[in-house]
Structure 1
């Protein structure tokens, strides 16, 4: 029998149908949702921009303070003590800190540290900030942790001309809490506003500021902040989906985001939906009453259709339906097609697992020796990947050596085997050595696969390749150890200099002047070594750097072949020549207008050692004789160039002037 259209059977219901009403309501709802979404997105962007204007105003105020301070007469004259006093008075009673530094790592003045106190080195400015200084003379820093505390700060810096030499940087920093306090009046109720620096770290946040400042934002959130302004949806740290608008400042390069929970943004839409559903429910009740008259003949066909739907839900075979209602027959055919589509979706799921950038292993073997692995897992284990091979085909595990916390882990104690015993494994690190000898570090989690009744059917393990991260951690550890070693050596030298200076000084003023001069000489030697990445220093450059700040170079006759000194010997030689120069100025050939100094050196081989012979000869000065006590330079040479270790030194007080001869062992 030819199936008849459902329209003929439901002719009496069409008059009472509310389908057009529902379609119209749906259209209105969609339009309302689109306009409401556009409105909230626009509001989010405007809020972010308003907050950026408020914060930029505060940053501009800091710049104004710096601009005024940079015109200080004390700074232009090089009177850092007077300039320090001016800066301290300017920030007295506030949380601001003013720092004067060079383009390297050296601080020249810090309002948190008394003038004359040794200032610790600072981090060098970034390439971005250096470029901003070159183009505009101004930069706004990323968020950073204040030295010796957990307080996070941001800084505004301007370039100022130095009395001589390379330009300096004058910066003023404030705690990030100040940025938050400034922006809070511009934050609308119910919104969460965040400020991020160029690296994606939180500068300020209207909520949970103390917990979040200085920390990186969610990568999936930060990577959506593209261009100058825009909006997007993303999850926050609490897992709540947000509607966010952002604006990136051209003044500071920071980005400002205004966030509103998506559920709050959709609340008006849901209220309208509830109202429409209420009206629709009333209309449905009326339609049901009218449709009852026409529904009896459809009960049988509906029951058969329901039985097929249940079979589809339980994964059973769906039989075709022979009905006089064409639509019912079409639905039954669609169910048959749906059964086939489910099998297709299963294949698609397998393709997803084979594409995801994480290693996935399944096993249904109690000993976890037979596994089903995705393509990424095969690549990590060094196995060939075949596109035509079925994902569900089990394979035998390969022979690897697993290490956790320095101990070899047996096959029975690895994540997949433990999950087969019902254990839960969460983010444990393992180092695997493959048969090829390649070592990989994996972060692994594993879970048992259970039957609805609770029995364990199998297990699944997911691992992320963290090999590059582990190698990076080891590299940073080596760098930290090297830095620690060099800092300790430098502090030991400074301690020795200070002790000798104070011991030999006749007054506090002399001790202060002498110590300052020696530390400056040490600093210049450090600068020379830093330029060469602490690989060593050229002897000629080292001698010139030690004598030129104290005496005219025309009074010296310097000559010798190129010699490269190791870092430890370079520091000692710099201090020794500083001491010899200052002594010559006080008592020797440089104390009158006619005296001169001759410095000569050469490389020689001595007892299978490579040695440096260096002479300091003074002529034309006052008549001299042996001194009554050993000065700091003499003691330094005798200590460093000990005859059993690094060489020997000899001082001769001739009538023509002082002669200093020493031999330095450069290699053993």
Structure 2
């Protein structure tokens, strides 16, 4: 019914516009017709004035004779003829008194003279007559006096004459008014006695602009009018034809009422028909909506049973779409569950609700939930994040920044989990944008680089340790070389002794290297130190298993080397029967362990204290400052006795 009503409204609007245009044209035509009738009547007066202007009495300057002639001309009428000069002084008048018409005793204005010059006749403004409640208008023509001076000859009459003249031209139901150049009423077809000589309503008169036109305004009674006006170039007066708007709009409202009644009846019929026919569409639509909700929430879409073919087609399309979405979802879930990277999605502006894959859950220390559907959001766990050693707030992390439209690439973060475990992640994040470009979500992908970071730390630690040990080894080699050269009697001897000592040091390094510089077993260290110089059969070793720190192991290797070489030169290994007993034990426990090692020679030549050589100095300096006594050397009758007391907990 809506198109029918719209078409009817279009017809009504077209009709209303056409009817308004017709009435406006009729108003303009009526105003013009009234002007022709009124000014035709006034033109008859100009004929009278033209006749008087050729009067011999006027030409001879006999004003009394001229006045008598004028009185005879208007005798029996209510017209008044007046003759005046340029200053407005009356020279002759047919009225009861010389100055009866006060408007005819004032000089003409500049505009009135210009109008008189152009038109040859001047229609004056309305003025009050000598009778009570009588208003008059005058027609003025310019004539020549006895001496050729210009004079003004006027003929006035009551405005009722104009009203009577225009009544035949006024259509039924219309109101026609005539106004002078000052906007005062000259005549009105209705209520003439009440409005003649009065100014028109300012709102009404202000709209009379230009030669002709139409407008809407109120009249004296407060009724809305449609008015057409015409301003005469001949008289300067304006003529208005008015008709009440209610009268103009009455046919239109009647048409509206008829069409509205017919339309309402048709609407009621169509609503009843729509109710019975639309029930089947409503049921099918409800089922279609239910399946659309199922499709949106990821549930299975059931076939729709309906007689509406279009809805059935849409239902089948939804089933196909649901299967395709389910297949793509399974593929995506498989990829996200398989990829060795943590993935977080969020559609929360605060990035507090997240969707995570299995790897992300395990990385954050969460227990797996095998039956949990993928895509259901969870709250983020409370972790501490650091970047370059600085604490990073939740708002400055990659996922939150992506929700603000930022992009991050390969940024490293350290996370401390609620359990206390620490993870190192390499993270990248991107915003998810709608087709219009606005941010609707965000995704973050992170790689676990904890092992790599720990490896880097371990490598750095090993490099630092290697640098430290190389420096220590070089310092030891430098000291050995300096002492060897200082105590050698010849260059060849120095080379031999230095080479022997460096070999011993290298053996100790080999043992430590095999153990990744974590330390060395004391028994293995003793064997490595003495085997290059003497057979182990001549040594009696006894003691528990002791693990020496790296620096102490190097010191013992040098000390044992010096003791072995001295024993070969001067002690129990200088003959074929001597032997050496090495025994050791640990005192204390935990972090206060002290190693006590005794080197005892027997079966060799008697030994006596002599000049302190490099070997003796080395033994004393290597363990100098050791807790629990350091090194003590005794020269007994049975042989050399060297006692070591070393705190194994001391950092070297």
TM-score range, shorter chain: 0.3 to 0.5
Q: Which has the higher contact order (CA 8 A, sep 6+)?
A: 1
When the two structures are superposed, what TM-score results if normalisation uses the length of structure 1?
0.43
When the two structures are superposed, what TM-score results if normalisation uses the length of structure 2?
0.44
